[in-house]
Amino acid sequence: MSGADEREVVIRVRGLRNQFGSHVVHDGLDLDVYRGEILGVVGGSGTGKSVLLRAITGLQEPAAGSIEVFGVDVLHGSEESRATLDDRWGVMFQDGALFSSLTVRENVEVPMRDIPGLPSAIRRDLADLKISLVGLPYLAGDKYPSELSGGMRKRAGLARALALDPEIVFLDEPTAGLDPIGASAFDELIRNLSRSLGLTVFLVTHDLDTLHAICDRIAVLAEKKVLVTGRMRDMLTVDHPWVHEYFTGPRARAAQDSAASDDREEGAV
């Protein structure tokens, strides 16, 4: 039995079919996500990366297939078993998806309001802890989303996703719209949180630098399914036009050179 087979599967998707009217996005999609890994999900425009994320988290009802998270049937499980999953995962959508009328602290507190008997003072302290955990200054808690930079809004969104100490975090294009320095800092934050908190990370991205810097495995969506999964170097041998262009083109080579340079610097320290 291989090492990969021995790892615990925390997300299992089989035969997934997503469609909108007559438009089929996924058909017969299979995917396993292992505990503790950072999985990068990539694909061309229209391949349904975000749709897959929404289906796994119960926000999009598939036409067919099965989805299990921690052994719980997401699509047909009981209300009680499904409700337990909400406490075991956190989701960060693009640009944080924060409530504009609430402060950062109040946004982070939102998931905690469903915890029976949790005093408001403790809820506030826990929110401040999460705000600090994602690298935001303490004063950011009193600010509204409109008063934050794009990078700070994303960190605030991540703090809210971590509010209930989840085991899985779903991130939808977390570095989109950030400058290279901000994107690199956010990548490092995700990697450090994954290691220190033991998080499993399901990361939808198009950012090659992110794939090189932090992803343990990559899942490529193409032809309405997961075409291939593997490490970055495995992608270089895939005989598929989009995969070949994406992972061997000029931007891919630049990202690979940057990652190699970072590895040399870390080795020299």
- C-alpha to C-alpha distance for 116 and 227, rounded to whole angstroms: 44
| Greatest Cα pair distance in the chain | 57
CATH 3.40.50.2000 fits 38-49+91-268, yes or no: no
Where the chain has pLDDT below 50, the residues are: 1-4, 259, 262, 264, 269
**pLDDT value at residue 97:** 81
Q: Which residue, among 104, 158, 115, has the nearest Cα to 134 in the 3D structure?
A: 158
**pLDDT value at residue 93:** 87
- 């703090």: which residue's tokens? 159
- C-alpha to C-alpha distance for 92 and 133, rounded to whole angstroms: 15
**pLDDT value at residue 77:** 82
**pLDDT value at residue 251:** 64
Model-level pTM?
Answer: 0.90
Q: Which residue, among 208, 205, 199, 195, has the nearest Cα to 258 in the 3D structure?
A: 208
- C-alpha to C-alpha distance for 32 and 137, rounded to whole angstroms: 37
**pLDDT value at residue 83:** 83
Domain-wise residue ranges, the chain: 38-49+91-268
**pLDDT value at residue 80:** 84
